[in-house]
Structure 1
């Protein structure tokens, strides 16, 4: 049975080359830790709501009223996953009706976010969720 020292004799002694390789590998390991940490910041889902494209040509009042208000975590918030049916909202806007005065907005049919989402940039400038090109509905930043 040969021992490890006999087998590794041809490598020589611990010198400047081995020291350089050792420190280069040690530095790369430290940087890999930061790569694992960055996902905490870029992987978050920012607050978002359904996108209402400009092409719908609705008034600012109706644009504001087009997203339902829902109870989430004990707080009233604008919905992230639905909006009022845009064809109906566009018709009411064209007739110059006032939301929640002449029209009870909560009675309008709800639809999903068929045009994508608006992502808030209050906390993060960019995240993987907001920038995902592989999603079916592409969002735009608020």
Structure 2
């Protein structure tokens, strides 16, 4: 250890200048930490399901039934990436059929979310995912 101390003796002791530089460098760590951790909150993917277009002429009962449900961790929730085919749902609604009585929804084919997604605003009003509209 003596060799090390002798080797850096020309730098001087731990003085006022070294303390000032040390604390200024430490002070920059806080805002950089905020910036580095912001993606945890800004990049979160909130709960979502397929968008059912507002202009689609279906009853409210069919609008609620147009997204299949699934059980995840003991809770029933809407499927995130699938919906029943909207052309068939629209026809069933126009005929006055009821999703719970007249139509067996398990027999209706599914399709992807071609119109986008609806996001929950329960936790976040907006995130990168909701702005770009590409959930994972």
Paired with 2:30 and 2:69, the residues of 1 have a C-alpha distance of: 46
Task: Name the residue aligned to 1:115.
Answer: 115
Task: Give the drift of 1:93.
Answer: 0.7
Unaligned runs of 5+ in 1: 9-13, 138-142
Number of residue equivalences: 127
Q: Does 1:28 align with 2:28?
A: yes
Give the secondary structure class of the aligned counterpart of 2:76. Answer: strand
Superposed structure 1 runs of 4+ greater than 3 Å apart: 3-6, 21-26
Backbone CA RMSD of aligned residues: 2.5
RCO comparison, higher one (Cα < 8 Å, 6+): 2
Does 1:79 pair with 2:79?
Answer: yes
What is the TM-score normalised by the length of structure 2?
Answer: 0.78
Spell out, residue by residue over 1:48-68, the C-alpha distance to the aligned partner (whole angstroms, 9 max, x if none). Answer: 000011122211110000000
C-alpha displacement of 1:81: 0.8
In 1, distance between residues paired with 2:33 and 2:86?
A: 47
- Identify the residue that residue 102 of structure 1 maps to in structure 2: 102
